[in-house]
C-alpha cells in the first residue's frame, strides 16, 4: 500500500462532511514509515467553522464524543478508531506540520476540492517535510520545535522508550539522560502553538 492509499484509507473512515474539511497530520502518518501501532488520529482545521462542520458530521454519522482533553475533542468512530479534533490552533496544512516538535511527525494528508479547476473534482494531497521519512525509517528524533519543555521532553522519552527512537545529537548514560534532554529542549525557544500526540 502506498502512503497516499494509506492516508486515503484513514480519511475514508470519516463521513464526507468531516473528510472534506479535515487535515490528517502527525503520528498516524508517521506510523506508515516506522511501523509503530497507531493509537489515535489527529485532525487539524483551517478555521473554527471547519472544526464545527467536522464535529457536526461526526455526531450525525454514528461517531461518539468521548471527552475533551488538552485542546482536542476525542471522538470514537463506529469501527473503533479514535479521532482527535484539534482546536489549539488553526491554519493551512503547512502551518500545522511546521508546528510539530519532531521532524519524523511532519506529515499531512487532506482533500482539495475543484482540483485542477474542474468543478466538483476532488484530489488527495499529501505533505511530507524533507527528511521526515528518513527519520522514521532510522527511528531518529530531530527536534524542530519546543512545544513546552516538560511536554517535549516527555515526548522524547516516550518515543525512545515506546517506539525505539533516539534523539539526534545526544549520547549519554541512562542516568544522566533525562536531565540532559530537558536542558537540550529548554535551550530551544518555546513555540507554545504546536500539537502532536
Distances (CA, A) of 114 to 61, 120, 138, 171, 172: 25, 5, 38, 50, 52
Three-state DSSP class for residue 193:
coil
Task: Give me the number of domains the chain comprises.
Answer: 2
Q: Per residue in 64-75, pLDDT tens? A: 999 999 899 999
On whether residue 194 sits in a domain, the answer given is no
65 & 162 share domain: no
How does the average pLDDT of the chain come out, rounded?
A: 90
Classify each residue of 85-120 as buried b or exposed e, where b means 16 or more C-beta atoms within 10 Å of its C-beta: bbbeebbebeebbbbbbbbbbbbbbbbeeeeeeeee
Q: Do residues 7 and 162 make contact, with C-beta atoms less than 8 angstroms apart?
A: no
Quote the domain boundaries for residue 61.
3-133
On whether residue 122 sits in a domain, the answer given is yes
Q: Judge whether residue 111 has pLDDT over 90.
A: yes
Q: Judge whether residue 195 has pLDDT over 70.
A: no
Indicate the residue among 97, 114, 133 that finishes a domain.
Answer: 133
On whether residue 195 sits in a domain, the answer given is no
66 & 98 share domain: yes
For residue 175, what pLDDT is reported?
65
For residue 126, what pLDDT is reported?
96
On whether residue 192 sits in a domain, the answer given is no
104 & 168 share domain: no
For residue 178, what pLDDT is reported?
75
Q: Per residue in 45-58, pLDDT tens? A: 999 999 999 999 99
Q: Per residue in 125-150, pLDDT tens? A: 999 999 999 999 999 999 999 888 88
Using alpha carbons, select from 24, 25, 154, 186 the residue that is nearest to residue 99.
25
Whole-structure pTM value: 0.89
**Residue 183: which pLDDT band, with cuts at 50, 70 and 90?**
confident
Indicate the residue among 133, 149, 176 that finishes a domain.
Answer: 133
97 & 162 share domain: no
On whether residue 33 sits in a domain, the answer given is yes
On whether residue 12 sits in a domain, the answer given is yes
On whether residue 191 sits in a domain, the answer given is no
For residue 115, what pLDDT is reported?
64
Q: Judge whether residue 6 has pLDDT over 50.
A: yes
117 & 141 share domain: no
Amino acid at each position: 500500500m502506498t502512503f497516499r492509499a494509506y492516508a486515503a484509507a484513514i480519511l475514508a473512515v470519516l463521513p464526507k462532511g468531516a473528510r472534506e474539511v479535515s487535515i490528517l497530520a502527525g503520528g498516524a502518518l508517521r506510523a506508515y514509515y516506522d511501523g509503530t501501532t497507531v493509537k489515535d488520529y489527529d485532525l487539524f482545521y483551517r478555521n473554527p467553522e471547519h472544526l464545527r462542520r467536522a464535529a457536526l458530521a461526526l455526531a450525525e454519522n454514528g461517531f461518539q464524543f468521548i471527552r475533551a482533553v488538552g485542546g482536542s475533542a476525542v471522538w470514537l468512530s463506529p469501527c473503533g478508531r479514535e479521532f482527535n479534533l484539534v482546536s489549539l490552533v488553526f491554519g493551512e496544512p503547512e502551518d500545522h506540520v511546521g508546528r510539530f516538535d519532531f521532524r519524523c511527525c511532519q506529515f499531512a494528508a487532506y482533500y482539495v476540492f475543484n482540483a485542477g479547476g474542474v468543478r466538483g473534482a476532488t484530489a488527495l494531497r499529501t505533505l511530507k517535510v524533507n527528511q521526515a521519512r528518513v527519520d522514521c525509517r532510522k527511528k531518529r528524533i530531530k527536534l524542530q520545535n519546543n512545544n513546552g519543555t516538560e511536554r517535549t521532553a516527555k515526548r522524547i522519552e516516550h518515543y525512545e522508550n515506546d517506539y525505539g527512537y533516539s534523539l539526534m545529537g545526544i549520547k549519554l548514560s541512562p542516568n544522566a539522560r533525562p536531565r540532559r534532554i530537558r536542558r537540550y529542549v529548554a535551550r530551544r525557544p518555546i513555540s507554545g502553538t504546536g500539537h502532536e500526540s
